[in-house]
Amino acid sequence: MEPVVEQLTQEFCERMRAQAGTPVAIEEEFSLLTCSIICYLTFGDKIKEDNLMPAYYKCIQEVLKTWSHWSIQIVDVIPFLRFFPNPGLRRLKQAIERRDHIVEKQLRQHKESLVAGQWRDMMDYMLQGVAQPSVEEGSGQLLEGHVHMAAVDLLIGGTETTANTLSWAVVFLLHHPEIQQRLQEELDHELGPGASSSQVPYKDRARLPLLNATIAEVLRLRPVVPLALPHRTTRPSSISGYDIPEGTVIIPKLQGAHLDETVWERPHEFWPDRFLEPGKSSTALAFGCRARVCLGEPLAHLELFLVLTRLLQAFTLLPPGDALPSLQPLPSLQPLPHCSVILKMQPFQVRLQPRGMGAHSPGQSQ
């Protein structure tokens, strides 16, 4: 995965360089980047040749946006409401149709050009395992419909999650120019100042301990999927002495665990150094844990590392004016217009000041 992430991140930095000095809404840029990465990994880099990314990005954004609209979320809570006229639901169904059209077309093209024992991307990889068409649904075997929905899961799960984490990292670094400066010093020390062509490969990430600690701290304070996904107990169970009957829906509050004072010192403070203590491993749960842990955790870590390395190597992040972006997440159950399952920030902008030539020091404006 690393060459794909590296290539797309480099192109992202070039786009950012073209806008250097003027305030950019970096959230959207991160979404486009993470969306491209997961599309390339799932469908292969032929989507570049065919220039499909703009249409794919638009479609995935449309699904995410229509789905998070309150008029849809409320149908999830009160299913009976689906019998009433609901323009939101109609828009969602249209978006899903377009999504399925894209995935089906990719499936068809992949099947036509598939070579046994070889794979160019994740869709090829999954198709290799598909059972004969004669096998029936419910047999426990992998069927084409599974590959279709697994691709959808990757596209939906792999876009806003990482993009939002990257945006939170930028917001925190705007509030903590001293940490940003130390991160850049760490990079310069490892790579030589202004060395824009060299990079630290992901396997050597231990060479950048402060960056690693900063990523861990951003994930602790802003686990972007704070309520994970709903689970259901398959048999009677208990937790901390409370009985939980079979069939109970469980919604873990990951963020609660991350702010527990009995585990974390000064839990509300952004303090990456807490992870620099030798032998200190993170007990944070931003990706959930065990059997249903986030499937994309390794990819997300790779993306966070490479994007932040590249970004901080090339630019100093500065607030667009005197005001710093808010650290308050948008209320997660806000009624209008979008109630997101993702911990989002208020819209913000950042100014990217190219590094390497002269001016070095990060934001003084605090």
Ligand X SMILES: *[C@@H]1O[C@H](CO)[C@@H](O)[C@H](O)[C@H]1NC(C)=O
Provide the binding-site residues for ligand X, judged by CB under 6 A.
205-206, 209, 212-213, 216, 275, 280-282
Number of residues that bind ligand HEM (CB under 6 A): 22
Q: Which residue has the tokens 């009985």?
A: 243
Is 153 one of the binding residues for ligand HEM (CB under 6 A)?
yes
Among 16, 59, 151, 299, binds ligand HEM (CB under 6 A): 299
Question: What distance in Å separates the CA atoms of residue 219 and residue 115, rounded to the nearest whole number?
Answer: 40
> Which residue number, 157 or 319, has a Cβ lying nearer to ligand HEM?
157
Give the chain's end-to-end CA distance (angstroms, integer).
38
Closest separation in Å from C-beta 280 to ligand X? 6
Choose among 196, 225, 224: nearest CA to 309. 196
Question: What distance in Å separates the CA atoms of residue 17 and residue 21, rounded to the nearest whole number?
Answer: 9
Instruction: Find which of ligand HEM, ligand X, none residue 107 binds, CB within 5 to 8 Å per kind.
Output: none
Closest separation in Å from C-beta 306 to ligand X? 14
Among 104, 283, 292, 326, binds ligand HEM (CB under 6 A): 292
Residue 91 and residue 75 in contact, taking contact as beta carbons nearer than 8 Å: no
> Which residue number, 35 or 216, has a Cβ lying nearer to ligand X?
216
Is 294 one of the binding residues for ligand HEM (CB under 6 A)?
yes
What phi and psi, each to the nearest 5 degrees, are found at residue 298?
-65, -40
> Which residue number, 271 or 275, has a Cβ lying nearer to ligand X?
275
Among 224, 284, 306, 318, binds ligand HEM (CB under 6 A): 224
Question: What distance in Å separates the CA atoms of residue 265 and residue 251, rounded to the nearest whole number?
Answer: 26
The identity of residue 316, as a single letter, is T
Is 161 one of the binding residues for ligand HEM (CB under 6 A)?
yes
Is 157 one of the binding residues for ligand HEM (CB under 6 A)?
yes
What phi and psi, each to the nearest 5 degrees, are found at residue 199?
-150, 165
Instruction: Give SS3 for 246.
Output: coil
Q: Which residue is nearest to ligand HEM (CB)?
A: 296
Sign of CA dihedral 215, 154, 70, 26: positive
Among 40, 275, 287, 348, binds ligand HEM (CB under 6 A): 287
> Which residue number, 277 or 322, has a Cβ lying nearer to ligand X?
277
List Cα–Cα distances, 342 to 49, 160, 207, 255, in angstroms.
32, 8, 31, 12
Instruction: Find which of ligand X, ligand HEM, none residue 305 binds, CB within 5 to 8 Å per kind.
Output: none
Q: At what angle do helices 26-43 and 2-18 cross, to 10 degrees?
A: 150
The identity of residue 94, as a single letter, is Q
Question: What distance in Å separates the CA atoms of residue 174 and residue 140, rounded to the nearest whole number?
Answer: 50
Question: What distance in Å separates the CA atoms of residue 54 and residue 39, rounded to the nearest whole number?
Answer: 11
Choose among 224, 189, 234, 237: nearest CA to 209. 189
Residue 203 has which token pair? Answer: 């396997």
Instruction: Find which of ligand X, ligand HEM, none residue 206 binds, CB within 5 to 8 Å per kind.
Output: ligand X
> Which residue number, 59 or 200, has a Cβ lying nearer to ligand X?
200
> Which residue number, 32 or 173, has a Cβ lying nearer to ligand X?
173
Is 154 one of the binding residues for ligand HEM (CB under 6 A)?
yes
Instruction: Find which of ligand X, ligand HEM, none residue 294 binds, CB within 5 to 8 Å per kind.
Output: ligand HEM
Residue 351: enclosing H or E segment and its boundaries? strand 351-354
Closest separation in Å from C-beta 22 to ligand HEM? 28
Residue 27 has which token pair? Answer: 């959230």
Is 158 one of the binding residues for ligand HEM (CB under 6 A)?
yes
> Which residue number, 272 or 363, has a Cβ lying nearer to ligand X?
272
Choose among 291, 169, 302: nearest CA to 228. 291
Closest separation in Å from C-beta 231 to ligand HEM? 6
> Which residue number, 57 or 202, has a Cβ lying nearer to ligand X?
202
Closest separation in Å from C-beta 29 to ligand HEM? 17
Interface residues with ligand HEM (CB under 6 A) are 38, 153-154, 157-158, 161-162, 165, 223-225, 228-229, 286-288, 292, 294-296, 299-300
